[in-house]
Amino acid sequence: KIFNTSEDGSVHVAREIAALIKTRQKENKPCVLGLATGSSPTRLYAELVKMHQKDGLSFKNVYTFNLDEYYPMPPDALQSYVRFMREHLFDHIDIPKKNIHIPDGTIAKEDVAEFCRSYEEKIDKLGGLDIQILGIGRTGHIGFNEPGSSEKSLTRLVTLDQVTRIDAASDFFGDENVPRKAITMGVGSIMKANKVYMMAWGEGKASVIFKAVEGPISDQIPSSFLQKHRDCTVILDDASSSGL
Ligand code: GLP
């Protein structure tokens, strides 16, 4: 879906999420959301906060699972995705703290595998993700699933691509400070979601969006696996869709 502006696209996704939350409230059921960080979903989160504050949209039945976190990463660090999510969404809505899940960047190395296994299990126990929100990285990554990630991959510790570390350099005041690793949900974890929205704005994303949407399905562009997803909508503005 191509929108005139990123704001229009973000409002569209926010309305879809709000509608599902309300449906689930009526059914007395949880609504399970997979969430992303980065600049792409920030307007979406601002819109959801507005819906809570102005229209009384409640998030009490919402469970969230974030895609990824740098490793290692303390939760209060400037670059932490825990901090990002608090600032952009969680501190401004009524979601119960126990419903929020974000990969733990402080976990001991020997416990990472078990943490990742139980992250998947928690999602499955809630009946799976109703909606997964995604951005896309310059390498074609979703979450931190870099080129080479398999279609069946699950939550795990990964090594970041050098291109991704360079793109994150300004947040870390130099690429040498960007962690080399991250914990990310896998391509397979994402593919299990009922509905996926991948959001991308601006000319800088046009070339990777072309590869993801119209290029061959390949682990060299992990987002291209979404071509096989049963219900994935790519949310674009004029500039990010200009290569299609
Ligand atoms: C990071 C995140 C991704 C995100 C990507 C793009 O690598 N781990 O989940 O999609 O950045 O970020 P942006 O939305 O700022 O372009």
To the question of pTM greater than 0.95 for the whole model, the response is: yes
Block residue for tokens 């987002």: 223
Residues 214, 138: Cα–Cα separation, whole Å: 16
Helix residue ranges per DSSP H, the chain: 6-26, 42-55, 81-88, 112-125, 162-167, 187-191, 206-214
Give the CA count within 13 Å in the CB-facing half-sphere of 57: 22
- Class of the CATH domain delimited by 2-237: alpha beta
Q: Are 190 and 196 in contact (CB under 8 A)?
A: yes
Chain segment 188-205, per-residue pLDDT in tens: 999 999 999 999 999 999
Return the ligand 1 atom nearest residue 138 CA: 6
Chain segment 144-196, per-residue pLDDT in tens: 999 999 999 999 999 999 999 999 999 999 999 999 999 999 999 999 999 99
Degrees, nearest 5: CA angle 102-82-202: 100
Ligand 1, atom 1: closest residue by C-alpha: 38
Say if residue 72 is preceded by a cis peptide, omega within 30 of 0.
yes
Residue 11 DSSP SS3? helix
Instruction: For a ligand 1 pocket test, name from 6, 35, 40, 184 the mutation site with the most ligand atoms within 8 angstroms of its C-beta.
Output: 40
In this predicted structure, what is the pLDDT of residue 89? 98
The pairing of strands 100-101 and 156-159 is: unpaired
Residues 131, 17: Cα–Cα separation, whole Å: 8
How high does pLDDT run on average in the chain? Answer: 98
Q: Which of 121, 148, 142 is nearest to 197 (CA)?
A: 142
Q: For residue 69, indicate whether it is catalytic.
A: no
Q: Which of 160, 117, 116 is nearest to 139 (CA)?
A: 160
Is the confidence metric ipTM above 0.85 for this complex? yes
Return the ligand 1 atom nearest residue 134 CA: 10
Q: Residue 146: left (phi > 0), alpha (psi -120 to 50), or beta?
A: beta
Q: Would you list the domain boundaries of the chain?
A: 2-237
In this predicted structure, what is the pLDDT of residue 25? 98
Residues 215, 206: Cα–Cα separation, whole Å: 13
Q: Residue length, the chain?
A: 244
Q: Which protein residues are within 6 Å of ligand 1, measured from CB?
A: 36-40, 67-68, 135-137, 143-144, 164
Residue 35 DSSP SS3? strand
Per-residue pLDDT for the chain (244 aa), expressed as one digit of tens each? 999 999 999 999 999 999 999 999 999 999 999 999 999 999 999 999 999 999 999 999 999 999 999 999 999 999 999 999 999 999 999 999 999 999 999 999 999 999 999 999 999 999 999 999 999 999 999 999 999 999 999 999 999 999 999 999 999 999 999 999 999 999 999 999 999 999 999 999 999 999 999 999 999 999 999 999 999 999 999 999 999 9
